[in-house]
C-alpha cells in the first residue's frame, strides 16, 4: 500500500499557480496501474488471447471507441477543470497522435478522432504525465461527473460544487460494484441558484441546497436524460445531508444495478426504471437500501469536507475597484469589442473580475473543435490572465474564469488572431452540435454540414443581435449528444429510406425550468432547415414584446403559430413522418 | 479434476454446477450424489433431501436472483455460487456484497459462468473468493487478474474504509 507523505495536509496549499485538485502519489500510482492494465489488455487482444467482445467494455471505460474511420479516444476533463499544462499536453498529443485538433463534447471531454489503436497505450501514458486519462468517459459505468463551468466564481453560487465533484470522482472511479451497470450513468452537480449543468436532464442530478438550519445538503433528482425517450429528472429526496452523500448514492446505484433492465438496450437507462416503478416506489427502494448503508464507513465528516474544499483554494485575487472606466472607453471606441463584452462576459463574485466565455463555434468548423495552435495559445492566455486554469462547459465552450476586468480589452485583442473572439455566446451561432455521421458510428445524419449551413445563413452580427438569446442545438441521431431536446429550437437528424431528414422540436429549455422540446411534425430535408429556422424567427419578430427572448414569446403565444409558419407552402406529404421509438440503429 | 482459483491460488476442485434445462422440472430431477451447487429452485423444492447432505450441497444464484431469495438459509451453506451469464452482467457484484455485508455470509462465494481474468479484481473486492474461470481460458494466466491496483478509492468488502479516511491518517 502506498502512503501519502506525512506532511500531506501541506499539499493542499496551492503552490505554483494552479488552483485545482492536485494528484498526489496515490492518485498517480492508481493512474499508472490503469495505463499498464490497458496496455496489457491491448497486447492480449492483439495476441488473440482477449477477444474483441471481451476487450470492448474495458477499452470503452478508458475512453477508446472504434469509430467509423478510426478509433476515437475520449479524454476526461473531470468536472471541466483544465490547467494550462494539461491543455498544452493535449495540443502536443494532437500533433503526435492525431491531426492537430481535438473536439470538445457536451460532457467535459475532449475527443481525438484519429489515433491508431496500437498507439493508444502510449497516448494514455503520455496523458497520465499531466494526470489525465479517459477513465469512465464511456461504457456502462458511472461517467465523468459534470458541473457548472463558473464553479467557484458565480455570484449566485450557494457553495462551490468542485469539492463534491472530487469526492464523487474518487468514489466512482473503478467502483467494484458499479463497473457493469445496465447502461451508462451520468451525474451532474450544480451549486448555484440557477442550474447551468442541466442536472435535471441527467441520470442523477444533485443540487446543492441549504436546509433551514443552514446545513449543506443535496436535492436529489433521478431519471432525467435525453436520448430516445427524453425525460426530466424527478425528485427522489428534497434534502440529503451532505455527510450521507456516498451511502445514499451507493444505495441508489445498487437499486439501479439490481433492477434496471438488461434485456433491451433502449430500456436500460435509469429513467426507464424510475418511470416503470413510479417515483414513489423507486424512492422507497432506494431509502430501504439506504437504511442498511446509512452511517457506514463512507460517512463524511466536516473535517473530510474541509480537506476536499482546501483542494480548491481561491486564487490570490487582487483588491480591485468594481468599475473599470477604461473598459467603457474602449467599448465606446470599438463596436466589435463592445459586442463581445456584452455577450461573452459572465459576472464574477469578486469585484473587478469577470469570467470570459470562449465559444468554439468558428464558422465552417465543427462546433467544439479546437486546433493545436488554439490550444497552445489559450494555455498561454490562461496563464497570463486567469491563473493558469480553464473550464470546459457542456455547451462546447471554454471559460477563463478569473480575468481582471481591466485586462479584458488586451485579452480580446489576443483572442482575435486565435479565432476565438467570435461568435457571441448565447446567440444563434453558438450551437451545440454532435460530430454526427462524419465521424460517429451511431449517427444517421451529418449534423456538422447542417450546423454550418445554419451558421452561414445567420452570420450578420446586427441581425443576430436583433434575434438575441436563443439556443439552437443539433443532434445527428436519437442518442442526442447534441442536446437538441433542451434547446429552444432542437434539430434531430434521422434516417428514413436511406435519406437524411431533420426533425424540428420547439420549446426546450435548460436550467431550473428545464423542459424537453416538442416535435412540431414531419421531418424536413437538410436543404429546407435554414428556411424553416428563418420562418420561426419571423414569427418571433412579429409577436415579441420589447423585453422578450425567443423562448418567452414561444411560451406566451404557444407553438401553433410557429408550427403553422414552418410548414407554410410545404407539401406535407413530401416530408418524412418519423417514429423515434423505433430503433433505427445500434 | 478441474482447476479453479480459490483464496488466491489454483486448486483442484470437484464441485459441480447443476444447471436445469428449460423443460426440466426441479421437483423430479435426479440429484447427483457428489458435491454440487444447485439452482435456487431445486434447493427450494428438494429441501428435505438436500438438508440431509449439507456437506455436499451448495446453491447458486442466477443473475436475476438475489440473496433475499434464500435469506433464511444462507447460514446453512458452506458455498454459494453467483452466476455471471455474461461477464458484462453486473448484478452478481451486488449479490456478492449483500451476501457478505448484509447477510454476513462467511463461507465461500464462487463466481461461475462467464468468469474472466479482467473482472477478478472487482469480484474479489465485492467478496467473491473463488473463481471458476470459463472453460477454454487459461486459469493460471487468470491469476494475474487478482492483482489489479495497489490502492482503491472506495470502501469494499476487503477494506470497508474509503481511501479518504486512510489517506491522511
* Mean pLDDT (whole number) for A78-87: 97
Confidence at B126, pLDDT banded by 50, 70, 90: very high
Q: Does domain A432-574 have CATH number 3.50.50.60?
A: no
Same fold, A146-309 and A432-574: yes
Confidence at A581, pLDDT banded by 50, 70, 90: low
The pLDDT > 90 percentage for chain A reads: 84
pLDDT at A2 over 80: no
Predicted pLDDT of residue A584: 41
pLDDT at A582 over 80: no
DSSP per position, A4-54: --TTGGGGGS--TT--S----HHHHHHHHHHHHHHHHHHHHHHTTSS-HHH
Predicted pLDDT of residue A571: 85
Are A307 and B168 an interchain contact pair (Cβ–Cβ within 8 Å)? Answer: yes
Range A325-418: architecture per CATH? Alpha-Beta Complex (3.90)
Identify any residues that bridge with A133 across adjacent strands, giving them in sequence order. A76
Can you tell me the distance from the alpha carbon of A553 to that of A560, in angstroms, rounded to the nearest whole number?
12
Are A1 and B90 an interchain contact pair (Cβ–Cβ within 8 Å)? Answer: no
Are A297 and B161 an interchain contact pair (Cβ–Cβ within 8 Å)? Answer: yes
Per the structure, the complete domain to which residue B151 belongs is given by 3-166
Mean pLDDT of all residues belonging to chain B: 96
Tell me how many domains chain B contains.
1
Predicted pLDDT of residue A271: 97
The pLDDT > 90 percentage for chain B reads: 95
A384-423: per-residue pLDDT in tens?
999 999 999 999 999 999 999 999 999 999 999 999 998 8
All cell numbers assigned to A504: 424540428
Residue A129, CA distances (Å) to A32, A88, A243, A375 in order: 9, 12, 33, 18
pLDDT at A585 over 80: no
Q: Specify whether the CB–CB gap between A464 and A428 falls below 8 A.
A: yes
A364 touches chain B (CB under 8 A): no
A162-181: per-residue pLDDT in tens?
999 999 999 999 999 999 99
Residue A523 phi, psi (nearest 5): -80, 155
A288 touches chain B (CB under 8 A): no
Chain center to CA of A455 = 21
Confidence at A572, pLDDT banded by 50, 70, 90: confident
Residue A96, CA distances (Å) to A31, A189, A225, A414, A449 in order: 22, 35, 36, 26, 27
Are A176 and B152 an interchain contact pair (Cβ–Cβ within 8 Å)? Answer: yes
Residue A555, CA distances (Å) to A100, A381, A522, A543 in order: 44, 41, 22, 11
Compare CB distances from A177 to B93, B148, B164 and report the shortest one's residue.
B93
Q: Specify whether the CB–CB gap between A423 and A429 falls below 8 A.
A: yes
A419-452: per-residue pLDDT in tens?
999 889 999 999 999 888 887 878 878 888 898 8
pLDDT at A556 over 50: yes
Predicted pLDDT of residue A419: 95
A315-351: per-residue pLDDT in tens?
999 999 988 999 999 999 999 999 999 999 999 999 9
- The residue of chain A nearest to residue B167, with distances taken between CA atoms, is A4
B10-68: per-residue pLDDT in tens?
999 999 999 999 889 999 999 999 999 999 999 999 999 999 999 999 999 999 999 99
Predicted pLDDT of residue B37: 98
Residue A71 phi, psi (nearest 5): -65, 155
Neighbouring residues of A530: CB distance < 8 A, sequence distance ≥ 6: A453, A454, A456, A457
pTM, rounded to two decimals: 0.95
Compare CB distances from A26 to B89, B119, B163 and report the shortest one's residue.
B163
Can you tell me the distance from the alpha carbon of A429 to that of A336, in angstroms, rounded to the nearest whole number?
16
Predicted pLDDT of residue A11: 35
A276-297: per-residue pLDDT in tens?
999 999 999 999 999 999 999 9
pLDDT at A16 over 90: no
All cell numbers assigned to A559: 407553438
CATH topology of domain A146-309: Sulfite Reductase Hemoprotein; domain 1 (3.30.413)
pLDDT at A160 over 50: yes
Predicted pLDDT of residue A18: 64
pLDDT at A10 over 50: no
A-B Cβ pairs (cutoff 8 Å, strict) = 110
* A331 Cα to chain B: minimum distance (Å): 49
* Mean pLDDT (whole number) for A123-136: 98
Q: Is A228 helix (H, G, I), strand (E, B) or coil?
A: coil
Q: What's the CATH number where B20 sits?
A: 3.40.50
Compare CB distances from B94 to A167, A258, A262 and report the shortest one's residue.
A258
Predicted pLDDT of residue A577: 84
Predicted pLDDT of residue B169: 67
> Which residues from chain B sit within 8 angstroms of residue A246, using beta carbons?
154, 162
* B31 Cα to chain A: minimum distance (Å): 30
pLDDT at A37 over 60: yes
**Which CATH number does the domain A11-128 belong to among 2.60.120, 2.60.40, 3.90.1640, 3.30.70?**
3.30.70
Predicted pLDDT of residue A6: 36
Query: How is chain A split into domains, by residue range?
Result: 11-128, 146-309, 325-418, 432-574
Mean pLDDT of all residues belonging to chain A: 93
Predicted pLDDT of residue A228: 87
Q: Specify whether the CB–CB gap between A204 and A186 falls below 8 A.
A: yes
pLDDT at A471 over 90: yes
> Which residues from chain B sit within 8 angstroms of residue A308, using beta carbons?
164
A170-221: per-residue pLDDT in tens?
999 999 999 999 999 999 999 999 999 999 999 999 999 999 999 999 999 9
* A240 Cα to chain B: minimum distance (Å): 20
> Which residues from chain B sit within 8 angstroms of residue A30, using beta carbons?
149-153
- Of residues A359, A339, A551, A550, the one with CA closest to residue A462: A339
Residue B45, CA distances (Å) to B31, B50, B51, B58 in order: 12, 10, 12, 14
pLDDT at A580 over 90: no
Chain center to CA of A183 = 19
B93 touches chain A (CB under 8 A): yes
* B28 Cα to chain A: minimum distance (Å): 30
**Residue B75: other Cβ atoms inside 10 A:** 11
Amino acid at each position: 500500500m502506498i502512503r501519502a507523505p506525512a506532511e500531506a495536509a501541506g499539499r493542499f496549499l496551492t503552490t505554483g499557480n494552479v488552483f485545482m485538485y492536485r494528484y498526489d502519489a496515490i492518485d498517480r500510482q492508481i493512474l499508472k496501474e490503469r495505463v499498464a492494465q490497458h496496455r496489457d489488455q491491448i497486447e492480449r487482444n492483439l495476441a488473440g488471447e482477449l477477444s474483441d467482445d471481451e476487450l470492448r467494455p474495458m477499452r470503452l471505460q478508458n475512453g477508446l471507441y472504434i469509430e467509423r474511420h478510426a478509433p476515437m479516444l475520449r479524454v476526461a476533463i473531470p468536472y471541466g477543470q483544465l490547467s494550462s499544462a494539461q491543455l498544452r499536453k493535449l495540443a502536443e498529443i494532437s500533433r503526435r497522435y492525431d491531426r492537430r485538433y481535438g473536439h470538445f463534447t457536451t460532457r467535459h471531454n475532449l475527443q481525438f478522432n484519429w489515433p491508431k489503436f496500437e498507439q493508444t497505450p502510449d497516448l494514455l501514458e503520455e496523458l497520465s504525465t499531466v494526470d489525465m486519462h479517459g477513465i469512465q468517459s464511456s461504457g456502462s459505468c458511472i461517467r465523468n461527473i459534470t458541473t457548472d463551468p463558473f464553479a467557484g466564481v458565480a455570484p449566485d453560487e450557494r457553495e462551490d460544487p468542485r469539492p463534491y465533484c472530487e469526492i464523487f470522482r474518487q468514489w466512482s472511479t473503478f467502483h467494484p460494484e458499479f463497473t457493469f451497470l445496465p447502461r451508462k450513468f451520468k451525474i451532474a452537480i450544480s451549486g448555484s441558484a440557477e442550474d447551468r449543468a442541466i442536472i435535471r436532464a441527467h441520470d442523477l442530478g444533485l443540487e446543492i441546497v441549504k436546509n433551514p438550519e443552514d446545513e449543506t445538503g443535496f436535492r436529489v433528482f433521478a431519471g432525467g436524460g435525453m436520448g430516445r425517450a427524453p425525460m426530466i429528472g424527478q425528485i427522489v429526496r428534497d434534502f440529503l445531508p451532505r455527510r450521507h452523500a456516498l451511502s445514499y448514492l451507493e444505495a441508489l446505484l445498487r437499486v439501479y444495478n439490481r433492477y434496471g433492465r438488461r434485456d433491451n438496450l433502449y430500456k436500460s437507462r435509469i429513467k426507464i426504471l424510475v418511470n416503470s416503478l413510479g417515483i414513489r416506489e423507486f424512492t422507497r427502494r432506494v431509502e430501504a437500501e439506504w437504511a442498511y448503508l446509512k452511517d457506514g464507513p463512507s460517512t463524511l465528516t466536516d473535517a473530510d469536507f474541509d480537506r476536499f474544499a482546501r483542494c480548491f483554494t481561491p486564487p490570490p485575487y487582487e483588491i480591485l475597484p468594481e468599475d473599470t472606466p477604461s473598459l467603457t472607453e474602449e467599448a465606446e471606441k470599438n463596436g466589435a469589442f463592445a459586442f463581445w463584452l456584452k455577450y461573452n462576459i459572465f459576472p464574477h463574485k469578486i469585484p473587478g473580475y469577470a469570467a470570459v466565455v470562449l465559444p468554439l463555434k468558428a464558422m465552417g468548423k465543427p462546433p467544439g473543435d479546437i486546433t493545436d495552435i488554439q490550444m497552445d495559445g489559450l494555455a498561454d492566455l490562461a496563464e497570463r490572465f486567469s491563473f493558469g486554469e480553464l473550464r470546459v462547459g457542456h455547451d462546447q465552450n471554454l471559460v477563463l474564469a478569473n480575468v481582471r476586468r481591466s485586462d479584458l480589452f488586451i485579452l480580446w485583442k489576443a483572442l482575435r488572431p486565435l479565432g476565438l473572439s467570435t461568435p457571441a455566446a448565447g446567440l444563434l451561432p453558438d450551437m451545440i452540435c454532435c460530430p454526427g455521421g462524419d465521424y460517429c458510428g451511431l449517427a444517421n445524419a451529418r449534423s456538422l454540414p447542417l450546423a454550418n449551413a445554419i451558421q452561414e445563413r445567420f452570420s450578420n452580427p446586427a441581425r443576430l443581435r436583433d434575434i438575441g438569446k436563443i439556443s439552437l442545438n443539433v443532434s445527428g441521431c436519437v442518442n442526442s449528444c447534441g442536446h437538441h431536446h433542451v434547446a429552444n429550437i432542437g434539430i434531430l437528424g434521422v434516417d428514413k429510406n436511406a435519406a437524411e431528414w431533420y426533425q424540428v422540436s420547439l420549446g426546450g429549455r435548460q436550467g431550473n425550468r428545464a423542459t424537453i422540446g416538442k416535435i412540431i411534425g414531419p421531418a424536413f430535408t437538410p436543404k429546407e432547415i435554414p428556411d424553416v429556422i428563418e420562418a420561426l424567427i419571423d414569427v418571433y419578430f412579429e409577436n415579441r414584446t420589447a423585453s422578450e427572448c425567443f423562448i418567452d414569446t414561444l411560451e406566451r403565444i404557444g407553438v401553433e403559430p410557429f408550427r403553422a409558419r414552418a410548414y407554410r407552402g410545404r407539401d406535407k406529404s413530401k416530408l418524412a413522418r418519423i417514429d423515434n421509438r423505433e430503433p433505427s440503429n445500434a | 479434476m478441474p482447476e479453479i482459483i480459490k483464496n488466491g491460488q489454483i486448486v483442484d476442485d470437484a464441485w459441480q454446477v447443476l444447471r436445469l434445462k428449460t423443460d426440466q422440472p426441479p421437483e423430479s430431477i435426479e440429484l447427483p450424489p457428489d458435491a454440487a451447487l444447485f439452482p435456487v429452485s431445486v434447493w427450494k423444492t428438494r429441501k428435505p433431501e438436500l438438508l440431509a447432505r449439507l456437506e455436499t450441497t451448495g446453491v447458486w444464484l442466477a443473475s436475476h436472483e438475489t440473496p433475499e431469495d434464500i435469506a433464511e438459509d444462507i447460514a446453512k451453506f458452506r458455498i454459494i455460487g453467483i452466476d455471471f451469464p455474461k461477464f458484462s452482467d453486473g448484478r452478481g457484484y451486488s449479490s456478492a456484497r449483500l451476501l457478505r455485508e448484509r447477510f454476513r455470509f462467511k463461507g465461500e462465494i464462487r463466481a461461475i459462468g462467464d468468469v474472466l481474468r479482467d473482472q477478478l479484481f472487482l469480484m474479489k473486492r465485492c467478496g467473491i473468493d473463488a473463481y471458476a474461470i470459463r472453460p477454454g481460458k487459461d486459469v493460471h494466466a487468470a491469476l494475474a487478474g487478482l492483482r489489479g491496483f495497489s490502492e482503491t478509492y472506495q470502501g469494499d468488502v476487503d477494506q470497508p474504509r474509503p481511501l479518504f479516511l486512510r489517506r491522511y491518517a
